[in-house]
Chains A and B, each alone.
Chain A
Amino acid sequence: MENLEKEQIVQDLLPQEFGKQGKIWVACLVTLCLIGFAAYCHQLSKGLVVTAMRDYASWGIYISNFVFFVAISLVGSLITAVLRLTDVHWSTPLTRIAEIIAVSAITFASIIIVVDMGRPDRFYNLFLHGRLQSPIVWDVIVITTYFFISLLLLYFPLLPDLKIMLKYKERTSKWMYKLYTFLGSFWKDKPEQFSLSNKAINILSITIIPVAFSIHTVTSWLFATTYRPGWDSTNFGAYFISGAFLVGSGGVLVAMYVFRSHYKLQKYITYDHFDKMGKVVVMLALLYLYFNVNEFLVPAFKMKKPEEEHLKGLFTGEFAPIFWFAITTSMLLPILILIYKKGRRPFPAFIAGILVVIGSWFKRYIIVTPTLLHPFLPMRDVPANYHHYFPTWEEWAICIGSLAGALLVITFFARIFPIIPIHETITETEEHEHDKK
């Protein structure tokens, strides 16, 4: 019985070939990526003048997108590390989803930063001549570190699964088999190997938490160390981290639903998972709402003259529709949906997750650009259009292409590797059966 169950788990969780829907999905993503790449080539040949960024709004949706990617990547540390270290076992099927979201997001965060550079061929100067005092250098360091930690955290738990996949040669293509052999043919399920692997996972789980906090705190400091209305805040580190955990968890809710329904994983990603993840999202949304109240209510109460234009622009002015849309979709509506038990069912939770992700993208835009349009010392004699920012088609194409790219990485990962850890699921099932007896 036990063996049958084990076999069933393996069969259910082994990577599956793309069906018709999968192929259409991949084709769409590849098309978006190619359009984005073409737009980038155009930008590269003509320069940043093809964007809407000018002397005022020197950071546009590229940087919003960067902050969004960095934010969503934090979910890896939340699901994998925080829940693992606190001995929460329900999150086991979600760990790999969270980690691959983290890896793909952080990869595209790095790419989008290069896109934002007018002269990407000078990128190496950041390493040759970077000043240690600059938060930009800290960001480069922590992003690289976080990327490697996430990659290792993805790799170590994958080792026992690679052995399982190597057993099922008939389910894999030739190149995939070669890849599995290269990555994990040495895994023999020896207790010493498990001991080393578990120790490594524990060390990584501990290490990733401060690094994850650093990555987003440093990203927030890119703004907070600059003396500008809206950014001149001591609240920024915590504000960014709480927002990052929220968008990451929202992303996991969406991914859970998609993988569950597409790969028929109802037995592994259950109602209970949506219920618990939904509660996590509610808690994080409330936390982020709290930080938002702090971030906006306090300066609005004082309404210092230089801040006034910026805040009124957000509350009732040019940016009010996006501001209130972001607040409503990223926090208020998800709370309203997920606070009820019925709302924590898969489909409503999926809708709430989508709202969180979309709202959070616009929230990053609200953080980045309006501030730049309201400096303490306005420039003189600039053309009138410098006072407004609306992204050009190149910017939209590149940003959408990067988002499609991140989804493509996740999609291909799920095609090549099991999206739910097979070995851990078997072990936990066995332990559960044992406990029952």
Chain B
Amino acid sequence: MSTIKNKYIVVVLLSFFSIASFAQDAKNDLMLSMGYYNNNNLTHYLVAHAKTKIDGKFQMVPDITIKFYINNDSAATNLLGTAVTNDKGDAVLMMPPSAKTEWMKSVKHTFAIVSTATKLYDEAKGTVDVSKAKLKVDTTEDKKVIVTLLELKDTAWVPVKGVDLKVAIKRLDGDLNVNETATFTTDSTGSITAEFKRDSLPGDKEGNLTLIAKVEDNDIYGNLTAEKVVKWGSKFQYVSQFDRRTLFARRGHSPWWLELLAYTIVVSVWGVLIYLIGSIRKIKKLGV
């Protein structure tokens, strides 16, 4: 009897382990990647990206809590902060002021990210190496944009040769290249020169345009941008359309032609009707 009991226990335990192992198999691999961003040599932030592969297709993974560390060390003292991935699988962490001391210690840093394990995903890790660099934007009177990429070596900023960068004008929904060349490569002086060929591009009311230079997804420097405001655009004076007589205007501001046409028709037809009501009065008088 006890032998049969033991057999049952073994079967149940085996079933449990097999279910548990199936459950573990159901977990997907979480892939983490990270980017370093430096905007205008002022704002530093890190973006972690979480994705997974389901049915042979990559899918973004939201709601994953990610911890960000400096110096590739997941010690609590190196923790920069935590962020949760959004619908696009991105978690953004602005570099906190408390990290300044650590940041100033070295010209190169390795950032690490660690995701918190969930029911669907195990813990995952990722790192990125960053060398400190900055972009400098200068302009000449003949509308040329000179962008220089500098890297911090010990205590000096030195030019960097052979790096691809873009020079564009910031617009509302994206950036517009300053000319037909999409990408420029820095020379031995760490510079590129781009000719501004977007004349009569509308700027603000004083003709201001914002130039932007960008290094994107560079293996050594990450993502760098630098901006400069120039008065190279045409002046844009905002004229309110609110009181203009248009078909889409508010009440009492319809176009003159429409008012003339509509009121002429209404007055004419109702004039006829009033005349006919007058005829009834005349008929009435004749019958009295």
Contacts and interface: CB of A to CB of B under 8 A. Distances in A.
B249 interface: yes
A199 B278 CA distance: 12
Contact of B279 (A133, A145, A148, A199): A199
Interface stretch (A59-67, A189-197, A368-376): A189-197
A159 B283 contact: yes
B252 to A, nearest CB: 8
Contact of B272 (A185, A190, A207): A207
A148 B247 CA distance: 29
B70 to A, nearest CB: 40
B247 A192 contact: no
B269 A193 contact: no
Nearest to A191: B286
Interface in A184-209: 185-188, 190, 192-193, 196-197, 199-200, 203-204, 207
Interface string A141-180: 1000100110010010001000000000000000000000
A132 interface: yes
Nearest to A128: B251
B254 interface: yes
Nearest to B276: A200
Given A203-B276, A204-B276, A211-B269, A133 B286 contact: no
B287 A190 contact: yes
A436 interface: no
B250 interface: yes
B251 A131 contact: yes
Secondary structure call for the B interface: helix
Interface residues of B, number: 26
B200 to A, nearest CB: 33
B279 A187 contact: no
A192 B287 CA distance: 10
Nearest to B284: A186
A321 interface: no
A130 B277 CA distance: 28
Contacts of B13: none
Given A148-B273, A203-B276, A207-B272, A141 B287 contact: no
Contact of B269 (A145, A185, A200): A145
Contacts of A207: 269, 272-273
Contacts of A148: 273
A196 B283 CA distance: 7
Contacts of A204: 276
A356 B180 CA distance: 65
Contacts of B250: 131
Nearest to A187: B287
B75 interface: no
Measured as residues with beta carbon below 8 angstroms from the partner, the interface class of chain A is 20 to 34
Contacts of A155: 280
Interface string A115-132: 000000000000001111
B283 A187 contact: yes
B157 interface: no
B258 interface: yes
Contacts of A193: 283, 286-287
B7 to A, nearest CB: 51
Contacts of B175: none
A188 B285 CA distance: 11
Contacts of B29: none
Given A141-B266, A186-B283, A196-B283, A132 B276 contact: no
- For the complex of A and B, list the 5 residue pairs with the smallest distance between their C-beta atoms, beginning with the closest: A186-B287, A132-B254, A186-B284, A188-B287, A131-B251
Interface of B: 247-251, 254-255, 258-259, 262, 266, 269-270, 272-273, 275-277, 279-280, 282-284, 286-288
Interface of A: 129-133, 138, 141, 145, 148-149, 152, 155, 159, 185-188, 190, 192-193, 196-197, 199-200, 203-204, 207, 211
29 contacts: A131-B251, A131-B254, A132-B254, A132-B258, A132-B259, A133-B247, A133-B249, A133-B254, A141-B262, A145-B266, A145-B269, A145-B273, A152-B273, A152-B277, A185-B287, A186-B286, A186-B287, A186-B288, A188-B286, A192-B286, A196-B282, A196-B286, A197-B279, A197-B283, A203-B275, A203-B276, A204-B276, A207-B272, A207-B273
Given A133-B255, A188-B286, A203-B276, 14 more contacts: A130-B251, A132-B254, A133-B249, A133-B258, A141-B266, A145-B266, A149-B273, A159-B283, A186-B286, A190-B286, A197-B279, A197-B283, A200-B279, A204-B276
